[in-house]
Chains A and B, each alone.
Chain A
Amino acid sequence: MRNFIKNHPQQAALVSIDVPLISNQSVLMNIALIKQYHENMPTAKAEPIVFSALRRLNLENIAFKRNPDLNDEERFFAMLLRAVMVRDALVIIDRPLKIVPHMKNIDYIFQALKNIENLYLNCHIYDYDWMREKYGELSR
Chain B
Amino acid sequence: MHLALFLIFGLLCIGGALNLLLQRHPINSALSLIVVMSSLSVLYLLLGAEFLALAQIIVYSGAIMVLFVFVIMLLNAGEEQRTHGSRAAYLAGIPGVLALFAVLASTFFTLRTNLGSARLGSFLVSTGDLSRVLFRNLLLPFEVTSVLILVAILGAVVLAGKEQ
Is the A/B pair a real complex? no
* B interface residues, Cβ below 8 angstroms from A: none
* A interface residues, Cβ below 8 angstroms from B: none
